[in-house]
């Protein structure tokens, strides 16, 4: 089974996702074939790149030699021979590249066949047709896909989809993604400026969100100066004034930065502050920026599409099993008439986003139509339980037991 990872790449799901021993074996079998293709692809790619570069050099050399001959002169026998040899070499090289490509294609199609052979292809049984059909649904799906591409920085693909599928996405909703990607791209290239000015413009909001992004960016800017050696010492001292607003919150980190100044002349590389120069600082800042910028813009850190697909893939084996059991016992309707699965599919903590409330009286999970209700004594039970316990306009809390009016109970939102 393949899933899209956070960067939009296709990845093979870990074998643990599949429940039976047979599944694990077939996953390994397919993975082996994929590894083989990948290694073959690399070898052929390396060889072809080298051969093409050689041939281009050769052609350029001949072109150069021939350009020195005056135009009215005819080619000598040796030169004609050289030309025909060159043509043969070009033809051989392109022929070999085509043959390699054909061979690779064969291996790739073997992988496709292995996947078809080893994995369930028909997931239609776990799908509800009305989820993706209808007037608005296709457009909604396209919107989600577009947003995914924008999020991953694949702006041209997103734009192409908008154009070709006629997706209705307001420019305003694209801008945050564009800006975030532009800043992230700059950060990856070691350019702090766009991120610094973004953090400066949003400093109040970041502070309200308890984000330390601005400090971390300035810290990295200081480290960049530190890299510059003794020549940058005066600039570093001047820049250190920018840390003043962060003095109480980041005292220790600022002390460390100041301490590193002592080693500017003898070399920070061989000092207790060498860790400041490590590349991990840059990877960290990209993570912090993505997390804090997403929080500020009201976006989730991971693309909802990636998350949805990954969660779906994780749940598939269980869903297929449930469906099988339901078909055998002929009780298919327990699934189709509710927005809820008949059993809980545990996807692990990373896929849990909301607190859930289970009524202590009826032992049911709350829903929109049966929400948790807070009684005036502070105890919470579900609305159905409240209605069952109510006697006219009176209800006795099953826990404390304070007598009260059911109308005083308030809906609780998680």
Among 379, 389, 390, 406, binds Zn ion (CB under 5 A): 379
Query: Is the alpha carbon torsion for 238, 239, 240, 244 positive or negative?
Result: positive
Q: Which two tokens stand for residue 350?
A: 């990373």
Q: How far is the CB of 354 from Zn ion (least distance, A)?
A: 25
Residue (303 or 404) nearer to Zn ion, CB: 404
Instruction: Give the separation between CA 184 and CA 292, rounded to whole angstroms.
Output: 12
Residue (40 or 379) nearer to Zn ion, CB: 379
Stretch that binds Zn ion, among 51-59, 112-120, 249-257, 369-377 (CB under 5 A): 369-377
Stretch that binds Zn ion, among 25-33, 135-143, 292-300, 392-400 (CB under 5 A): 392-400
**Total of chain residues touching Zn ion, rule CB under 5 A:** 5
Taking every pair of Cα atoms in the chain, the longest distance, rounded to a whole number of angstroms, is 114
Residue (146 or 397) nearer to Zn ion, CB: 397
Instruction: Please report, as residue ranges, which positions from 2 to 31 form the binding site for Zn ion (by CB under 5 A).
Output: none
Q: How far is the CB of 361 from Zn ion (least distance, A)?
A: 12
- Beta-sheet strands, E only, within 249-375: 372-374
Instruction: Give the separation between CA 33 and CA 21, rounded to whole angstroms.
Output: 19
Q: Which two tokens stand for residue 4?
A: 């899209």
Instruction: Give the separation between CA 198 and CA 209, rounded to whole angstroms.
Output: 15
Residue 169: φ, ψ to 5° = -125, 125
Lookup result for tokens 């078909």: 327
Cα 152 to its chain centre, rounded Å, is 7
Q: Which two tokens stand for residue 370?
A: 């049966």
Stretch that binds Zn ion, among 202-210, 256-264, 314-322, 371-379 (CB under 5 A): 371-379
Instruction: Give the separation between CA 181 and CA 186, rounded to whole angstroms.
Output: 8
Among 377, 388, 410, 411, binds Zn ion (CB under 5 A): 377
Instruction: Please report, as residue ranges, which positions from 393 to 412 form the binding site for Zn ion (by CB under 5 A).
Output: 397, 399-400
Instruction: Please report, as residue ranges, which positions from 192 to 221 form the binding site for Zn ion (by CB under 5 A).
Output: none
Q: How far is the CB of 412 from Zn ion (least distance, A)?
A: 14
Stretch that binds Zn ion, among 130-138, 342-350, 377-385, 405-413 (CB under 5 A): 377-385
What's the N-to-C CA distance of the chain in angstroms? 34
Q: How far is the CB of 409 from Zn ion (least distance, A)?
A: 11
Parallel/antiparallel/unpaired status of strands 372-374 and 380-382? antiparallel
Give the helix ranges, DSSP H, for 189-272.
Answer: 193-201, 203-208, 213-227, 233-240, 251-260
Residue (294 or 389) nearer to Zn ion, CB: 389
Stretch that binds Zn ion, among 155-163, 327-335, 361-369, 375-383 (CB under 5 A): 375-383
Residue (331 or 377) nearer to Zn ion, CB: 377
Q: How far is the CB of 27 from Zn ion (least distance, A)?
A: 52
Q: How far is the CB of 401 from Zn ion (least distance, A)?
A: 7
Task: Catalog residues that contact Zn ion under the rule CB under 5 A.
Answer: 377, 379, 397, 399-400
């Amino acid at each position: 089974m393949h899933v899209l990872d956070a960067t939009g790449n296709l990845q093979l799901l870990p074998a643990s996702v599949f429940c039976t021993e047979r599944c694990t074996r077939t996953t390994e079998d397919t993975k082996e074939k994929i590894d083989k293709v990948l290694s073959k692809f690399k070898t052929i790619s390396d060889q072809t790149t080298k051969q093409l570069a050689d041939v281009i050099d050769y052609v350029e050399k001949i072109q150069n030699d021939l350009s020195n001959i005056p135009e009215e002169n005819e080619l000598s026998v040796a030169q004609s021979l050289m030309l025909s040899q060159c043509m043969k070499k070009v033809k051989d090289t392109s022929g070999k590249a085509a043959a390699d490509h054909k061979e690779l294609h064969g291996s790739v199609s073997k992988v496709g066949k292995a996947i078809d052979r080893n994995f369930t292809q028909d997931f239609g049984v776990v799908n509800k047709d009305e989820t993706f059909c209808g007037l608005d649904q296709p457009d909604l799906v396209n919107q989600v896909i577009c947003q995914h591409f924008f999020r991953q920085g694949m702006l041209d693909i997103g734009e192409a989809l908008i154009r070709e599928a006629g997706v209705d996405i307001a420019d305003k909703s694209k801008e945050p993604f564009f800006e975030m990607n532009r800043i992230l791209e700059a950060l990856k290239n070691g350019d702090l400026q766009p991120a610094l000015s973004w953090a400066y413009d949003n400093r109040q909001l970041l502070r309200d969100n308890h984000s330390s992004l601005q400090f971390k960016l300035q810290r990295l800017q200081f480290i960049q100066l530190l890299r510059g050696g003794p020549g940058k010492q005066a600039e570093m001292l001047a820049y250190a004034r920018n840390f003043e607003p962060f003095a109480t919150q980041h005292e220790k980190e600022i002390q460390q930065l100041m301490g590193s100044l002592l080693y500017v002349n003898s070399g920070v590389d061989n000092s207790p502050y060498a860790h400041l120069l490590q590349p991990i600082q840059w990877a960290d800042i990209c993570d912090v920026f993505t997390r804090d910028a997403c929080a500020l813009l009201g976006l989730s850190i991971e693309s909802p599409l990636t998350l949805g697909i990954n969660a779906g893939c994780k749940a598939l084996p269980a869903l297929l099993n449930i469906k099988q059991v339901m078909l055998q016992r002929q009780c298919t309707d327990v699934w189709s008439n509710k927005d809820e699965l008949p059993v809980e599919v545990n996807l692990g903590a990373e896929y849990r986003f909301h607190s859930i409330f289970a009524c202590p009286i009826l032992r049911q999970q709350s829903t929109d139509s049966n929400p948790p209700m807070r009684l005036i004594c502070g105890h919470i039970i579900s609305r159905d339980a409240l209605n069952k316990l109510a006697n006219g306009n009176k209800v006795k809390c099953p826990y404390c037991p304070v007598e009260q009016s059911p109308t005083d109970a308030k809906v609780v939102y998680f």
